[in-house]
Amino acid sequence: MLNSKLIRILNVCTKEEKKELEKCINSPFFNESTDITRLWNYLKPMNFSESPKKLKKEYIFGQLFPDESYNDPKMRRLMSGLIHVIEKYFFNKTHQDSFLYHEQLAQLYYTRYMKSELEHEVKELIKMNELSPFRNKEYYDNQVIIEKYKMYLEFIGQKIRKGKEDRNISEVLKSRDIAYLLNQLDLICALKNNRKTLNIVTYQGFSEYVLQYVETNPEILEPVIFQIYWRFYKLYNSTTISMEEILELQDFIENNIEMLHHNEATYFRALMRNIVFQLAREKPVYHKPLFEIYKRHLEKGDLFNYNKITPNVFHSVVQAALSVHEIVWVENFMLKYEKHLPENLRESTLAFCNALVEFHKKRYVNALKYLQSAEKIPNPLFELEARTLYLQTVFQLNDELLLSNAIERMKAYLQRSVSVSDEARKSYKEFFHYTSLIYHSKNASDYPKLMRIKKEIENTTSLPHKQWLLSLM
């Protein structure tokens, strides 16, 4: 039960939220089950990390129902019931007096033809949107909703005069176009950020629409949020990106930070890191800027989510620091922030990162020991990195048999793994190919062949661990 959804939710609840949540659990409106209340009272005072034995479903059931034998369906229903109450509380807390709350009321009054009530909700929606300090994507999405209900208001009142209906529909379409453009830009950036391969026809459709709209409506770029998305869009579509352009965009975001919601600022900084990360894979000159960006974002708290840091982000910080030989900084970072890793993935993540540190210290036997401890890797790309590190380590140990076995196992893994993208599969196959070529050419002292291989590698784009391969020659 330690890794159940219920415990994960309770782990991220603050003390204040637990106090409010208790009121909901004791309220018949939220909860009519005394058994759910008893489960809550049992879990409420517990420190989950210190009481794993007391979190076993069988143990808890025995505490709640001492006269009954263990009933798994009943226990599962209790857990689901408590989760439902907690989620209901969070929904009400999040949406109380929110834009969504008034939107739902507007929809309710519109379907019942209650004109004055709908008019009041439309005014509330306008007021809430205009009072928002942010002119972000959410603001323009909300404008579409406002214009739609203004039009509905006219329909209900049957006050549509000649030309009035066209004007209302025109306002709705205009708001929709603006929001659609912003969402298209956001979608392109998100897909590029996640390194997804876009369908070429779909992507061209996105790009053509964006370019055409901006060309015919240049005033669209006046709001800060549009300028930020537009600059990211141009960076993602540029074949040559300079560090000056990246720093200029970074300064622009920071100078207009008050115009952005915290989540948006965090998202834009993540996009920034990803762009520099992709550049750093090809050119070592970007290693130092990437490390500095990670340090800055670490100080701002952008690498955390509910005081937790994901294994991927933790590993990326370690990799960025090691790329500029900041080994002491890495060791201090790991000691300071390991407690922020998810408990169920902490041990394996630290083992893998320690293996990276040992590899950079050229203590390859120690690196192998840590890799053997990293049994559970959180996602396919991270697992790929761990397997690759093992391959690099046995290469450095000059063990041909282990290297050959490692390459074959990696090929088999790529072949069977459905979670690895075609792009990653292709690039890693090239990596194995060059690793094997370099190993056998070095052992045969075939230096002319090594030079040919080096030139091929230099001309190959999107090759994982390109700098490591070049360093071997």
CA atoms within 13 A of residue 36's CA, in its CB half-sphere: 23
Stretch 45-63: mean pLDDT, rounded?
83
Would you kindly state where each structural domain of the chain is located, as residue ranges? 5-95, 99-233, 238-293, 303-373, 379-473
Residue 251 neighbours by CB distance under 10 Å: 10
- Where is pLDDT greater, at 211 or 194? 211
Whether residue 40 is predicted with pLDDT greater than 70 in this model: the reply is yes
Stretch 121-131: mean pLDDT, rounded?
90
Burial class of residue 111, CB neighbours in 10 A (0-12, 13-18, 19+) = exposed
Angle between helices 137-157 and 164-193 (to 10 degrees): 150
Whether residue 332 is predicted with pLDDT greater than 90 in this model: the reply is yes
Cβ neighbours of residue 438 closer than 8 Å, sequence gap 6 or more: 450, 453, 469, 472, 473
Among the listed residues 396, 383, 389, the one whose alpha carbon sits nearest the alpha carbon of residue 431: 389
Q: Does the pTM of the predicted model rise above 0.75?
A: no
Tokens of 356: 């990276």
Measure the CA angle with vertex 425, ends 423 and 426; round to 5°. 65
pLDDT at 71: 92
CA 470 to chain CA mean position, Å: 31
Whether residue 17 is predicted with pLDDT greater than 80 in this model: the reply is yes
Percent of the residues in the chain that have a pLDDT greater than 90, as a whole number? 20
Greatest mean pLDDT among 4-13, 74-83, 254-263 = 74-83
Structural contact between residues 89 and 103, judged by C-beta atoms closer than 8 angstroms: no
Question: Can you give the C-alpha Rg of the chain in angstroms?
Answer: 28
| pLDDT per residue as tens digits for the range 434-468 | 888 888 887 767 778 888 888 888 888 778 888 88
Tokens of 157: 């009142």
Average pLDDT, the chain: 82
Tokens of 35: 């058994």
| pLDDT per residue as tens digits for the range 136-176 | 788 888 888 898 888 888 777 654 444 455 555 666 666 77
Question: Cα-flanking dihedrals φ and ψ of residue 196, to 5°?
Answer: -80, 145
Whether residue 324 is predicted with pLDDT greater than 90 in this model: the reply is yes
pLDDT at 8: 85
Stretch 48-61: mean pLDDT, rounded?
82
Question: Cα-flanking dihedrals φ and ψ of residue 79, to 5°?
Answer: -60, -45
Whether residue 371 is predicted with pLDDT greater than 90 in this model: the reply is no
Handedness of CA 216, 183, 240, 292 (dihedral sign): positive
Stretch 127-134: mean pLDDT, rounded?
85
Of 134-143, 211-220, 265-274, 370-379, the poorest mean pLDDT is in 370-379
pLDDT at 172: 67
Q: What DSSP state is assigned to residue 465?
A: T
Q: What DSSP state is assigned to residue 459?
A: T
Stretch 352-379: mean pLDDT, rounded?
83
3-state secondary structure of 62: helix
CA dihedral of residues 303, 308, 313, 314 (deg, nearest 10)? 110
3-state secondary structure of 260: coil
Q: Specify which residues 308 forms β-bridges with.
A: 305
pLDDT category of residue 45 using cuts at 50, 70 and 90: confident
Tokens of 253: 């975001």
CA dihedral of residues 375, 380, 384, 385 (deg, nearest 10)? -80
Residue 321 neighbours by CB distance under 10 Å: 26
- Where is pLDDT greater, at 296 or 384? 296
